[in-house]
Amino acid sequence: MTTTELSIKRRSFLKAGAAAGAAALASALTASTPARAAVRGIELPAATTEPTPFQIHVPQAQLDDLRSRLANVIWPNKEPVDDWSQGVPLASMRELTDYWRDHYDWRRVESRLNSLGQHRIEIDGLGIHFLHIRSKHANALPLLMTHGWPGSIVEFMKVIDPLTNPTAHGGRAEDAFHLVLPTLPGYGFSDKPTTTGWDDARVARTWNTLMVKLGYQRYVAQGGDWGACVTTALGQQQPKELAGIHLNWAFVFPKQIPTSGLLPDEEQAVRDVAQFREKEGSYYHQQATKPQTIGYALSDSPVGLAAWIYEKFHSWTDSGGKPERVLTRDEMLDDITLYWLTDTAASSARMYWENQGDLYAAGQVNVPAAVSVFPHEIFRAPERWTRDTFPQLVYFNKVEKGGHFAAFEQPEIFVRELRDGFRKMRA
């Protein structure tokens, strides 16, 4: 290990790829005005200061347009290598595109979202989309869960029922949660900010306001990727309603990494970040520096958008480089299609631009915390650094399998970790 590798700071990592997060959201919502908002022709209710329930119905013309674009792709020439070292192979992209065009059914996921209880609300001048699913069990613990990039609320579809209805999934009634699943600003059916300043700290304040407006006087929060950044910021702000947090990706690098005395898991974390910077960080640099530029390409080409996201499913899942081993094509396309239909490529990428500084400049996070370490995460949080960052750490566990998209890839393990991690925070 070189001295250069050991000198990686949190800020350096963030500028290389800390929060995996943005690629397919451009001209989305303006629902904080009295008029109804529209995204690629999708009618959304105007966001008001009280939650407004609504149903999604994507116009058939938009689905027809997508299918037409998928039938008229201008393909690049084939890569001169026989692996993914230059990006998504042409054959893999053609295969995914053919399936998307000929077999994928958006109405299936649309129906599922509509069955869950969708709402929009205006907070801090922005229309926020969220799902609100209450458990039937008495004394369920309110849980705020935040997605990342290139994820969405779709990541959580497989864990909603086990978390809210644990007795039907091998759990106990006392394991139950009420769920609030907001969509990040600039993503999905939340509004696209038209001014700067929507960093993770502002989103965290917005989320606490949301929970208070929903009547929750005590709640816990969870996140991975950008969701972990927002959840950590929430922990740093320490609103009186917050009882604790759980992270499935804890960014715990010290401000200056020592050049000696590192434990084996700390040395491995440094190597992982160096590898990420060298091999996987280009998307981050583009989105953090010129999100508008990449937005033109991704907003105009569904295949370009799909390749941008599919590459991350390949690299960041615990699948041996074959994401279909842990996610079906339909599941990946649910996420990709949500990005496409909400036309939000540039706006989601701007979250990187907003967060180029040191996300953790505030120092330690002094609320009860639980951390689950998944083996194929971009880097795995060392326990000593985790305890330094979270002095009130009540749970730390390294799980047996899973990657960056923990809830999406390994829903049973993810549910188990949340049940165990939050158990001491229920009292």
CA separation for the pair 190, 200 (Å, rounded):
15
Is the bond preceding 302 in cis, omega lying within 30 degrees of 0? no
- Residue 37: what pLDDT? 59
Which of 284, 352, 360, 395 is catalytic? The answer is 352
- Annotated catalytic residue 404: yes
Is the bond preceding 150 in cis, omega lying within 30 degrees of 0? yes
pLDDT tens, position by position, 111-164: 999 999 999 999 999 999 999 999 999 999 999 999 999 999 999 999 999 999
CATH number of the domain where residue 251 is located: 3.40.50.1820
pLDDT tens, position by position, 2-24: 433 444 444 444 444 444 333 33
- Residue 154: what pLDDT? 98
In eight-state DSSP terms, residue 272 is: H
CA separation for the pair 262, 106 (Å, rounded):
49
How many domains does the chain contain in total?
1
> What is the C-alpha R_g of the chain?
20
CA 238 from centroid of its chain's CA atoms: 22
Query: Quick check: 1 pLDDT over 90?
Result: no
Does residue 321 contact residue 35 with C-beta atoms inside 8 Å?
A: no
Range of the domain at 180: 3-425
Residue 217: strand, helix, or coil: coil
- Annotated catalytic residue 420: no
Does residue 250 contact residue 381 with C-beta atoms inside 8 Å?
A: yes
Q: What percent of the chain has pLDDT over 70?
A: 90
- Residue 358: what pLDDT? 57
Query: Quick check: 392 pLDDT over 50?
Result: yes
pLDDT tens, position by position, 67-114: 999 999 999 999 999 999 999 999 999 999 999 999 999 999 999 999
Query: Quick check: 361 pLDDT over 80?
Result: no
- Residue 89: what pLDDT? 99
Residue 87: strand, helix, or coil: coil
What are the helix and strand counts (H, E) for the chain? 17, 11
CA distances from 111 to 114, 178, 269 (A): 5, 21, 41
- Residue 36: what pLDDT? 52
Buried-state track 144-179, b at ≥16 Cβ within 10 A, e below 16: bbbbbbbbbbbbbbbbbbbbbbbeeeebeeebbbbb
pLDDT tens, position by position, 30-58: 333 334 556 787 889 899 999 999 999 99
Backbone torsions φ then ψ of 381, nearest 5 degrees: -65, 120
pLDDT tens, position by position, 261-317: 999 999 999 999 999 999 999 999 999 999 999 999 999 999 999 999 999 999 999
pLDDT tens, position by position, 404-418: 999 999 999 999 999
CA separation for the pair 185, 191 (Å, rounded):
6
Nearest C-alpha neighbor of 12 from the set 363, 357, 352: 357
Backbone torsions φ then ψ of 382, nearest 5 degrees: -65, 145
Nearest C-alpha neighbor of 340 from the set 319, 310, 315: 310
Nearest C-alpha neighbor of 237 from the set 353, 360, 412, 54: 360
pLDDT tens, position by position, 320-358: 999 999 999 999 999 999 999 999 999 999 999 999 865
- Residue 14: what pLDDT? 42
Which of 191, 200, 225, 335 is catalytic? The answer is 225
**C-alpha angle with apex 187: 185 to 192, nearest 5 degrees?**
55
Residue 243: strand, helix, or coil: strand
- Annotated catalytic residue 103: no
CA 247 from centroid of its chain's CA atoms: 12
Which of 129, 132, 246, 404 is catalytic? The answer is 404
Q: Dig out the tokens for 86 from the structure.
A: 């230059």
